[in-house]
Structure 1
Amino acid sequence: MWRATMAFVHVAVAVFSLLSVGQSAPVTGCESLIQPIEIQGRDQLLGNWTYLAESTDITGSKFLTKMFVESAWGKITAGDESDAINHYQAQKMFGQCFSITIKLILENSTLSMVQPYTASAILLNTGCTDCLVLYSKYTTGGGNYSGLQLLSRRSKVSAAELQEFMKQVECLNLPSPAILDPEKGFCPDESPSQETETIDVTSLMNDMGSDVLNLFSKITGRDGGLNMLIKLLSSDIAGLKQN
């Protein structure tokens, strides 16, 4: 169960972390920093992207991301329909690899998703020429949430580029972001690997839908709930390492 829960939690807060368009010169004020960018077409979104930082208002998401998630990357490919995008995401947690593939629809510069839960996202202005800053809205039976993610073609951005993202987080009144560490290495791509097994949680998450995210929100929203969840997950991880 811990595999399903943790894979869902991080994908739930990062799954919309998609890709870059041609960006403008450096920006500083909040008005410019939170300005949406028009997406000219899906071709400018295609390719590989590294997840570098994220902030969400889901209770406990930053702490759990920093504690358990080592690194994450995504690959965007064109779908069968002209407005469809396939997003493969691989994330490294507890020294193991988890992956999910989702379908997104691009319409009027907005990326939309139905499974495993309802969400939409837009791109925001950034001075980083090979980065993407993506502002997402998640809707579940338990409420509405927001998130901001930073991705890049590179595995690491400059201090100034990261500082700009943190200012965008502040402008949107979101919590301080969790920063992922590319030095911890990445999961392999979709091809089979004898060295690292990748656990595909696509079907599991689609079946569970928003139920797991709702349960997660209820647990972390209680007094002591986050500590209880951490103890449970830590115990399960310790048991796994002994096997």
Structure 2
Amino acid sequence: MTGFFHVAVAVLSLLSVGQSAPVSSCESLIQPLEIQGREQLLGKWTYLAESTNIPGSNFLTKMFVETAWGEITAANESGAINAIHSQKMFGRCFTLIIKMTLENNTLSMLKPFTTSTVLLNTGCPDCLVSYSKYTIGGSTYSGIQLASMRNKVTAAELEEFTKQVECLNLTPPTLLEPEKGFCPDGSSSQETTTIDLTSFSDDMASKVINLFAKMINSEGGLKRLTEMISSAIGGLKEN
């Protein structure tokens, strides 16, 4: 789950894997990988960088998101996975649990918005490079994300990901900052307040997504959204 969604849901609701040799050509860099099975995806992953063409998403991620991690486990249904995403923003933790299905090398999600994801070729031995297409408010966007089982990748691995972003004609990636620390694995911490976004009803999630879509596609919408987020941060710090 990309950073923009956590920012949008958290603020608006409060207000209302491949292992191949290094590659360099665009043809190789954006080649989808064959996913042998969901076991290839299981584990805990640190999100390190991302880029999308969703208006304002890179800006919002860079401005407000500190660190993020996710843990993928097998669901009861065959070919399905559960993913818990934990993201640190405003000195607090926001979590979201989603379910995705794996079929024909594609991970699909219907809620809170429609997403299809494939993995791209990478020379990083313990990384997932995911390329996704999102349908939000009737518009289709795309994005790429780098996750690793380590909290930091090498300069060469990051350079390869940056090249993949360029090959997909996306803006330079936004880098997260592991040195700022991560949210705890548990649902609560004496040091960090955790807000679970999973409990929002489907109706509420739909309203938030529609509002987000309208704002990012309207003139001055990003500015208004940024102001709302800044105002919410002030409220969070006072509590």
TM-score normalised by structure 1 residue count: 0.89
1:227 CA displacement: 1.8
Unaligned runs of 5+ in 1: 11-19
Tell me what 2:7 maps to: 6
Aligned residue for 2:137?
A: 141
Aligned residue number for residue 59 of structure 2: 63
> In the alignment, what sits opposite 1:51?
47
Q: Deviations over 1:37-90 (max 9, x none)?
A: 000011111110000001111100011101110000000011001211000110
Moved over 6 A (4+): none
Alignment match of 1:204 (pick from 172, 182, 200):
200
Quick one: percent identity of the two aligned structures?
65
Asked if 2 retains the 8 angstrom alpha-carbon contact of 1:53 and 1:151, the reply is yes
RMSD across aligned C-alpha pairs, in angstroms?
Answer: 1.9
Note if 1:170 corresponds to 2:166: yes
The aligned amino acid for 1:155 is: N
1:7-64 alpha-carbon deviations (Å, 9 max, x no partner): 5379xxxxxxxxx34x110000000000000000111111100000011111000111
Per the alignment, residue 104 of structure 1 pairs with: 100
Are residues 174 and 9 of structure 1, via their aligned partners in 2, closer, same or farther at CA, if it must alter by over 3 Å? farther
Partner-residue secondary structure (3-state), 2:23: coil
Distance in structure 1 (CA, Å) of the matches to 2:107 and 2:80? 9
In structure 2, list runs of 5 or more residues that go unmatched: 12-16
Secondary structure of the residue that 1:75 maps to in structure 2?
A: strand
Structure 1 contact 8–205 (Cα < 8 Å) conserved: no
Counterpart of 1:37 in 2: which secondary structure?
Answer: coil
SS at match of 1:203: coil
Residue 179 (structure 2) pairs with residue 183 (structure 1) = yes
Task: Name the residue aligned to 1:16.
Answer: none
Number of positions where the alignment pairs a residue of Structure 1 with one of Structure 2: 230
Read off the aligned partner of 2:173 and give its amino acid letter.
P
Q: 2:191: which partner in 1?
A: 195
Equivalent in the alignment of 1:122? 118
Describe the superposition over 1:180-215 as per-residue Cα deviations: whole angstroms up to 9, x where unpaired.
000010001135333323111012263334442332
Taking the aligned partners of 1:205 and 1:101, their CA distance within structure 2 comes to 13
Please state how far the C-alpha of 1:5 moved relative to its aligned partner. 7.1
Of 39, 63, 69, which aligns to 1:73?
69
Equivalent residue for 2:218?
222
What secondary structure sits across from 1:120 in the alignment?
strand
C-alpha change, 1:220 and 1:133, in structure 2 (3 Å) is: same
**What TM-score does the superposition give when structure 2 sets the normalisation length?**
0.90
